[in-house]
A and B are shown apart, each in its own frame.
Chain A
Amino acid sequence: MKNTRALTVAGAALAASLLTLPGCAASGEAVSKPAGSAGAESKGEIAFFTPSSQIDVVAALADGVVEYFEGEGYTVTIQDANFDAVKQAQQIQQAIDTHSIVGAWIMPVAPETAAQSLATLQAAKIPAVVEGPPMSVGLEGPQPGIAFDEPDFLKYGTMIGDTAAKCAVDGEGREALFLMPPDAAGGTEQVIGAIEDSFAAGAPDVPIAATGEAADIASAQTTVSQLLIANPDANVIIAASDETALGAAGAFKAANKTPACIVAGGGGDAAVAALEAGDITSVVSWDYSSAVGEAGADLIRMISDPTSLGGIIETPVKATGGN
């Protein structure tokens, strides 16, 4: 009994330390997102339903959405589905049932499963912005109360391929490695096809010697290290995600080699920082910040008239960096 009590006390003390140490580590700097910092005069709440806040680009988009709507007098909550389509559907349903939101911004985990949630939102007269074309959620054309932030995957993939090809030709590229994330997110197939086609057309003398797949930076670094052993002439990296690009940059550094170019498709903060540091040559990204303003204005318009047709806004693509 004495032992048990001692253990309980020790446990409580340790738990307290566990909670306080990270706090000390983060002292002097805000560590949580500003979402949900409701003001008394808030016009209402917008929920941003994200597949995962752990994706840099998505986190950046969430920041953009928060900034825009807070500027317009709304509060924003971010709901992370952690890549679980069912969880996301439940989060949306819960928001509808509790009448807690006046508008939604949805980046679907699995677009094909989001149709029901959108229908329920329409029925509840809660307007929404959806990341993706109408077709991805089984709809055609403009819809009442729903605006679409439509990415052009073909354009995105082509821009990555073209940027890599230009860089390979200008930078005397010999062989290329093509790196992909393992997930099958919407448009992945189109993006990969467009990258391969445009790269082959733009740099016909630089073959793609090998392809690799990696989910995170560490495994990408290991994969590229091993691919460089088998393909020592490879000096061009076409990376379809930030993580693979960052892993490739690390692998080249570890091998004491200098790549002719590393082109990343993504555009999260870490990739942008690597670009600024010169570790990555170019970053091709969705320009969400440009789209947020247009789509956000459309959402605010629909909040006042939820039966009006939402717009279809094309998400711009931008390339940053270069030789």
Chain B
Amino acid sequence: MSQISPNNALPWKIRGLLLIRDQGLLALFIAIVIVFAFWGAPYFLTLPTGISILNAAAIASIFAAGVAVGIMTGVLDLSVPGTAALAGVVTGRLLQEGLPVGLAIMCGLLMGLLVGVVNAVVVLRGFNPLIVTIAMLSVLSGASLLIAGSYNISGLTQLVFMGTRTYFGIPAPVYIAVVLFVILTVFLKFTRGGTRLLAVGGSAEAARRVGIAVNWYRILGFAISGLCAALGGIVTAAYITTAVPSASVGTVFTAMTAVALAGVPFVGGRGSLPRVGLGVIVVATISAGLLLAKVPADWSSVVTGVLLVGGLGLNMWTTNTTSKLLLASGDDGAKRGTR
């Protein structure tokens, strides 16, 4: 057995690359805050702006959490906007029908869970997950419009408690996002189920060989994704007290940007949810910063797209370079061992 380097320590270059991969996003966030502190002065670096950014990020982060868990499981769930629209509309319609708020919300969440499970079951039959989730997006978009009669379901003031209401000065969606992220992070990092879920995402075949029930974990991944999408849809409906039946494809784009920025590889197997949360905050910060700096809104979209490609590029570069350096270090160690 050859050691990679003495004392089990990784070479400084590799440690540096891993630091960039793991903490680069935090550095980017700090840099963005500093830039906008001057550019968007005097309004950017204020508590109300911070809370507003957190609020905007909270809703997007709920979607991002679902997309991230899907990706970590090895699947990009593109049906998220449709699931969100359906969950919002179902909840809205049930509230209109006079159902208790809690029950209506539970039904909306159940819809998301069901969508996730149906997606998974179809994918397990051997269909391409991308095609399945795109098809599901189409089905759900139509279903939402049918249920809503093509019109927004407005006046959902029963949901204000989880939309615009603040608790201790912090808007409700922020609490919901934090609770969701804590639960999912604990699950992924500290439970056997979470570890197995990531193992299935990393290599389904390897997981199968060690006796993990791969199919059930893939269903679980899709179910979590669907549940998060439904929660996001309901929180969005609560935020604007209106359930909009049209699927907002932009939500997936923002979520994917955050996931890419967080360094979650799109091939699955690993990733950090707190970093996904930070990724969403970065996107929301840029959007708010450009708005307060009076930059035309189209630039926000351009910057977000550039960030998406940049995040993916950085992730690919650090991963590839680290692998090469590790291989080179291994070779050196082996050579030293044979001397």
Binding site for B on A (CB under 8 A): 3-4, 7-8, 10-11, 14-15, 17-18, 21-22, 25-33, 52-54, 56, 59, 182, 210, 212-219, 221-223, 225-227, 229-230, 246-247, 250, 253-254, 268-270, 273-274, 277
Check if A54 sits within 8 Å of B150, measured CB to CB: yes
CA distance A300 to B10 in the complex (A): 81
Check if B118 sits within 8 Å of A25, measured CB to CB: no
Residues from chain A with a CB closer than 8 A to the CB of B121 are: 7-8, 10-11, 14-15
Residues from chain B with a CB closer than 8 A to the CB of A18 are: 111, 114-115, 118
Residues from chain A with a CB closer than 8 A to the CB of B215 are: 3-4, 7
CA distance A229 to B52 in the complex (A): 9
Task: Return the chain B residue nearest A62 by Cβ.
Answer: B150
**Among A10, A33, A212, A270, which residue has its beta carbon within 8 angstroms of that of B291?**
A212
Residues from chain A with a CB closer than 8 A to the CB of B117 are: 10-11, 14
Nearest Cβ on chain B to A181's Cβ, whole angstroms = 11
From B13-21, B70-78, B241-249, B309-317, give the one contacting chain A. B241-249
* Count of interface residues, chain B, beta-carbon cutoff 8 Å: 58
Does B336 touch A at the CB level, under 8 Å?
Answer: no
**Among A22, A25, A52, A182, which residue has its beta carbon within 8 angstroms of that of B97?**
A25
Check if A218 sits within 8 Å of B288, measured CB to CB: no
Nearest Cβ on chain A to B61's Cβ, whole angstroms = 13
Check if B244 sits within 8 Å of A25, measured CB to CB: no
25 A-B pairs (CB sep. < 8 Å): A7-B124, A10-B121, A11-B117, A11-B118, A14-B118, A21-B114, A22-B111, A22-B146, A25-B90, A25-B97, A26-B147, A27-B97, A31-B148, A33-B150, A54-B245, A217-B152, A217-B242, A218-B59, A218-B239, A223-B297, A226-B288, A250-B164, A250-B241, A253-B164, A268-B151
Nearest Cβ on chain B to A55's Cβ, whole angstroms = 9
CA distance A27 to B107 in the complex (A): 15
Given A21-B90, A21-B111: A15 touches B294 (CB 8 Å cut-off): no
Binding site for A on B (CB under 8 A): 40, 43, 46, 48-49, 52, 55-56, 59, 86, 90, 93-94, 97, 107, 110-111, 114-115, 117-118, 121-122, 124-125, 143, 145-152, 154-155, 164, 171, 213, 215, 219, 236, 239-242, 244-246, 248, 250, 288, 291-292, 294, 296-298
Check if A218 sits within 8 Å of B114, measured CB to CB: no
CA distance A54 to B243 in the complex (A): 13
CA distance A213 to B297 in the complex (A): 6
Check if B240 sits within 8 Å of A25, measured CB to CB: no
Task: Return the chain B residue nearest A242 by Cβ.
Answer: B152
Total A-B residue contacts, Cβ distance less than 8 Å: 144
Check if A273 sits within 8 Å of B154, measured CB to CB: yes
Consensus secondary structure, chain B interface: helix
CA distance A32 to B245 in the complex (A): 13
Check if A269 sits within 8 Å of B49, measured CB to CB: no
CA distance A53 to B114 in the complex (A): 27
Which 8 residue pairs spanning A and B have beta carbons closest together? A11-B121, A213-B297, A54-B246, A230-B43, A254-B164, A25-B93, A217-B240, A270-B152
Check if A269 sits within 8 Å of B152, measured CB to CB: yes
Check if A56 sits within 8 Å of B49, measured CB to CB: no
Task: Return the chain A residue nearest B245 by Cβ.
Answer: A54
Task: Return the chain B residue nearest A274 by Cβ.
Answer: B154
Task: Return the chain B residue nearest A231 by Cβ.
Answer: B43
**Among B115, B122, B151, B248, which residue has its beta carbon within 8 angstroms of that of A270?**
B151
Nearest Cβ on chain A to B44's Cβ, whole angstroms = 8
List 14 other contacts, CB 8 Å, given A18-B111, A30-B149, A218-B240: A11-B117, A11-B118, A25-B90, A25-B94, A25-B147, A26-B93, A32-B146, A212-B297, A225-B55, A226-B56, A229-B48, A268-B151, A269-B151, A270-B154
Task: Return the chain B residue nearest A60 by Cβ.
Answer: B151
Given A25-B94, A54-B150: A213 touches B298 (CB 8 Å cut-off): yes
Check if A15 sits within 8 Å of B118, measured CB to CB: yes
Check if A59 sits within 8 Å of B150, measured CB to CB: yes
Nearest Cβ on chain A to B197's Cβ, whole angstroms = 17
